[in-house]
Amino acid sequence: MALRTIITAPDPRLKIKAKPVGTVDDSVRRLMDDMVETMYHAIGIGLAAPQVGVAKRVIVVDVAREGEEPRPMRIADPEILWRSAATTEANEGCLSLPEHYADVTRAAEIRLRYRDHDNEVREIAANGLLATCVQHEIDHLDGILFVDHISSLKRGMILRKLAKAKRTKALEPA
């Protein structure tokens, strides 16, 4: 396994629509394993392939709480089959928008179909943090960031701060 570099916004690679993988083969499994390692290293609960510069429909999530056994999920070609009309609001962050958070409203419950790391098609129901996290990560596969769900005023403020942080970092001596 290897750590991959996480892309931060603003970056055009975070705005693309990722392509289905079709079959989970060794190269996709390697990508999934790298993403799990990268997510844990960054202390995140989810990561999507476009965030590491790969335009494929692959996400990994682990919503286990601190002290609990890790339960990483490796998900390819996810499809939300059903969303509840009931919604829930959560304070979301994103490894590609470091140090910024906002309340986002999403479906409280979803039914999800995907291919796992063994290329088996699975269907699960998700609610709570898992439902929120999966919807956030699937958004990444369509070039959507959590700030796209909030007011343009707040989004603009966050993206300007991130752009400025990037410029400052570029000026730092190596």
Rank residues 94 and 102 by Cβ distance to Ni ion and give the closer one. 94
Rank residues 144 and 163 by Cβ distance to Ni ion and give the closer one. 144
Tokens describing residue 112 = 């999800």
Give the nearest distance from C-beta 118 to Ni ion in angstroms. Answer: 26
Interaction site with Ni ion (CB under 5 A):
94
Q: Is the peptide bond before 72 cis (omega within 30 degrees of 0)?
A: no
Residue 69 annotated to the active site: no
Give the nearest distance from C-beta 158 to Ni ion in angstroms. Answer: 13
Give the nearest distance from C-beta 68 to Ni ion in angstroms. Answer: 22
Cα angle at 22 between 19 and 27, to 5 degrees? Answer: 85
Do residues 40 and 78 lie in contact, with contact meaning Cβ atoms separated by under 8 Å? no
Catalytic residue among 66, 69, 123, 137: 137
